[in-house]
Chain A
Amino acid sequence: MADEPTLWISGHLAEKIRAHGAETYPHECCGALLGRDAGEVRGSDPAKYPLTPEREILALYPLVNRRNDSPGNRFSVSSEDVLSAEKEARAHGLDVVGWYHSHPDHPARPSAYDRDHAWPWYSYIIVSVQNGVPQEMTSWRLNDDRQEFSPEGIEIRHRAAV
């Protein structure tokens, strides 16, 4: 636990990700995670900032899956969508700190395809949707060597709106 990064998200936003996965089932949903990353503050002295989350999701930016050819097991977000998510984040004083997508009828584990296409630093939330019903939700970060993902804890927190 000590070495595992943790992502804070409200129960409301976590539920919205699940709902998006159910809504687009049997296709994959996708969207941007907007929030703040304070990892360096916490990393410098975790004991000193016990209430500062390393990374916190404060809003979502749902997107349309651009993979018309295989939307049941692939998702794609164009560079134009990325720019538009970044613009939306900036308008709220936030950053794009990651992305979420669903795995219809598959576990919430990153695939080799996920890994091959991942960026470092971003949080990748995956929600498994079985028979249309959202199940487990996990979060992952790509390792520096690009060889695998490391799990990231998800902590459901409620904070005052920013």
Chain B
Amino acid sequence: MPVKVMIPTPLRPYAGKRASAEFQATTVGEALGHLTKEFAELRKHLFTEEGKLRSFVNVYVNDEDIRYLAKENTPTKDGDTISIIPSIAGGNS
């Protein structure tokens, strides 16, 4: 059983309008790699040009924020759900 990646609403237009996708992956980074390979247009919205996850992109494995685990090296097992959750920021100047 693969891991399931939940795609947030604003990114679905770049992912064939899908709400989720499933991949065989042993880490979060591997799953996101498969995701952005299948849907290449997602990449610039999730990662900086240096290949780092953007600061307002939050990734959870089941209910755990990967920032408090092993970040993109966080291991995944069959049946896990990876959620991409936006945070929102802005301001003048």
Residues in A lying within 8 Å of B, measured CB to CB:
28, 30, 67, 70, 73-79, 81-83, 95-96, 99, 101, 103-104, 106, 110-111, 113-114, 117-122, 124, 144-146
Give the chain B neighbours of A95 by CB distance below 8 A: 9
Contact of A106 (CB < 8 Å), options: B10, B41, B86, B93: B93
Top 5 A-B residue pairs of the complex, sorted by shortest distance between their CB atoms: A74-B91, A106-B92, A121-B10, A77-B88, A114-B90
Residue of A nearest to B85 (CB): A79
Q: For chains A and B in complex, what number of residue pairs have CB atoms within 8 angstroms?
A: 88
Whether B21 sits at the interface, judged by CB under 8 Å, is: no
Contact of B91 (CB < 8 Å), options: A101, A121, A122: A101
Chain B residues touching A, range: 20 to 34
Give the chain B neighbours of A113 by CB distance below 8 A: 89-93
Decide: A82 and B91 in contact? CB cutoff 8 A: no
Interface of B is mostly: mixed
Decide: B87 and A79 in contact? CB cutoff 8 A: yes
Decide: A82 and B92 in contact? CB cutoff 8 A: no
Contact of B93 (CB < 8 Å), options: A73, A83, A101: A73
Cα of A144 to Cα of B43 in the assembled complex, Å: 11
Instruction: Type the 1/0 row for B1-28, where 1 means its CB is closer than 8 Å to any CB of A.
Output: 0000000111111100000000000000
